[in-house]
Amino acid sequence: MFKLNHTHDPAATCWLASAQTAGCDFPIQNLPFGVFRLRGSNQAFRGGVAIGDQVVDMAALCASGTLSSLAALACETCAQSSLNDFMALGPQAWQTLRHALFALLHTSADAVTQGKVQACLIPQCAIEHKLPTRIGDYTDFYTSIDHATNVGKLIRPDDPLSANFQWLPIAYHGRVSSIGVSGQQFRRPMGQSMAPGAKAPVYGACARLDYELELAIYVGQGNRQGEPVSLAQAENHIFGISLLNDWSARDHQFWEMTPLGPFLGKNFATTVSPWIVTLEALAPYRLPWNRPADHPQPLAYLEDAGNRDHGALDIQLEVWMDTAQRQAQQAGPAKLTHTSFKHQYWSIAQMLTQHTVGGCNLQSGDVLGSGTISGPTAQEAGAMIELTQGGRQPLRLDNGEERAFLQDGDSVILRGWCEKPGAARVGFGECRGQVLPAIA
């Protein structure tokens, strides 16, 4: 696990003025990684690092001659059209490049260095993104006990939690081909659903379309098939985190889930934010991971003193909704939820270890979804099915609109950041997606 070091100093500043703006997601203490090119161009996509309102073009930085040794090698691999090869280099290379970037961008850098790096900057408003990695596999977990209880009560009021939930991080394998980067638009899915009391299902457009507030956990270096990753080593295999929206067709999902699990209810779209915030940047926001004393305690392979001491992360998360009517009224998006990832029942290290314990080999660039992130209060629910009690209590927005589930034209925006006294604010940017009408 990364420890606090000079890159976490809240007093550190960048010579780029926008990195010091109040509420900036990308100060010098962050330096998240993504893949970009100039919007509307035929340029090759390449790696970049966000700082203030700019992007450091890693291909240009390689050519500038400002880096050497391991930092230069890491920069060269980071300049490719995906981050997989860079992430496969491992924690030492990740940290070396991040620290080198910190030095180049720090106000203490000399004028010549500043000039060389300045020439590598491109305004974020002028770029477009693609997925930051070639995602070989995507596994979506189910690790919030508050979410599991809230949804379970809608289906099984007397027995909301499955018998295994408190013993292992549950997951299913998702669909990679329909994962898109923020700004993704997708069609309302078609499929089968079974109405309560009906004797036969019907085929049609999803009537209960939902979002799920999640995080994307990116695998850095993989493991060999048959060689499990211990809990103590798990975070050496995690590069970083972004936001993730696991869109869900609830009426299709609940009909098809017996007995095998999600299929069409989940495979039509998943949206991730473009910037991956490294675990090192998140080090000031580690918290003890706790399990209530009266709950089942983890089996030995999911238990570790380090995970108990600082396995949790206090990431603040919000869900916002924009609608066609709100846009016409210039009302701006409406906030639906605010919660924290610290409430999650299983840690990111436990998720990765559980994934490998049977011998599964993870690969650089793979994504683990955290599962819906809900807190202990009603206002912290991470999905619409919870906020509306299965659609029975529609949300009333401040402009008078009501929503039981998502309507065509609705956009959902996820936002995330970390902040506390004595530490610099670190943000994730936004994850935005929009629902388009179905094609029957």
The answer to whether position 426 is within a domain reads yes
SS3 123: strand
The answer to whether position 305 is within a domain reads yes
- Residues 101 and 207 grouped into a single domain: no
- Residues 270 and 366 grouped into a single domain: yes
- Residues 162 and 106 grouped into a single domain: no
Domain's final residue, options 68, 97, 129: 129
Rounded to a whole number of angstroms, the CA Rg of the chain reads 22
Phi, psi angle pair for 237, to nearest 5° = -105, 5
**What residues are paired with 278 via a beta bridge?**
240
Q: Over the stretch 243-264, which tens digit does the pLDDT of each residue have?
A: 999 999 999 999 999 899 999 9
- Residues 31 and 104 grouped into a single domain: yes
Instruction: Report how far apart, in Å, the C-alpha atoms of 418 and of each of 17, 48, 86, 207, 325 are.
Output: 21, 22, 25, 35, 32
Q: Over the stretch 381-408, which tens digit does the pLDDT of each residue have?
A: 999 999 999 999 999 999 999 999 999 9
User: Per-residue pLDDT for 280 more than 90?
Assistant: yes
Domain of 79, CATH number, reads: 2.30.30.230
What share of the chain in percent tops pLDDT 70? 100
pLDDT at 295: 98
Residue at token pair 């610099």: 424
Distance of CA 415 to the CA centre of its chain: 10
- Residues 146 and 193 grouped into a single domain: yes
CA dihedral 91, 92, 94, 97 (to 10 degrees): 170
- Residues 158 and 208 grouped into a single domain: yes
Domain range holding 425? 138-436
User: Per-residue pLDDT for 155 more than 90?
Assistant: no
Domain's final residue, options 129, 147, 176: 129
Instruction: Report how far apart, in Å, the C-alpha atoms of 394 and of each of 15, 196, 323, 326, 385 are.
Output: 48, 19, 15, 17, 10
The answer to whether 59 and 46 have CB atoms below 8 angstroms apart is: yes
Mean pLDDT, residues 60-80: 98
- Residues 395 and 365 grouped into a single domain: yes
Concerning whether 8 is annotated as a catalytic residue, the answer is no
- Residues 247 and 161 grouped into a single domain: yes
- The domain total for the chain is 2
Mean pLDDT, residues 65-84: 98
pLDDT at 99: 98
Domain's final residue, options 129, 156, 190: 129
- Residues 24 and 123 grouped into a single domain: yes
Could you give the angle at which helices 91-105 and 111-118 cross, rounded to 10 degrees?
110
Mean pLDDT, residues 351-360: 98
CA atoms within 13 A on the CB side of 406: 33
Q: Over the stretch 410-424, which tens digit does the pLDDT of each residue have?
A: 999 999 999 999 999
The answer to whether position 261 is within a domain reads yes
The answer to whether position 176 is within a domain reads yes
Q: Over the stretch 309-321, which tens digit does the pLDDT of each residue have?
A: 999 999 999 999 9
The answer to whether position 345 is within a domain reads yes
User: Per-residue pLDDT for 156 more than 80?
Assistant: yes
- Residues 330 and 363 grouped into a single domain: yes
Of 8, 106, 129, 147, the catalytic one is 147
The chain-wide mean pLDDT, for the chain, equals 97
- Residues 156 and 249 grouped into a single domain: yes
The answer to whether position 158 is within a domain reads yes
**CA distance linking residue 298 with residue 154, whole number of Å:** 27
pLDDT at 2: 78
SS3 77: helix
- Residues 152 and 235 grouped into a single domain: yes
- Which pLDDT band, with edges at 50, 70 and 90, does 13 fall under? very high
The answer to whether position 1 is within a domain reads no
Q: Whole-prediction pTM value?
A: 0.98
pLDDT at 440: 84
The answer to whether position 167 is within a domain reads yes
pLDDT at 97: 98
User: Per-residue pLDDT for 182 more than 80?
Assistant: yes
User: Per-residue pLDDT for 1 more than 90?
Assistant: no
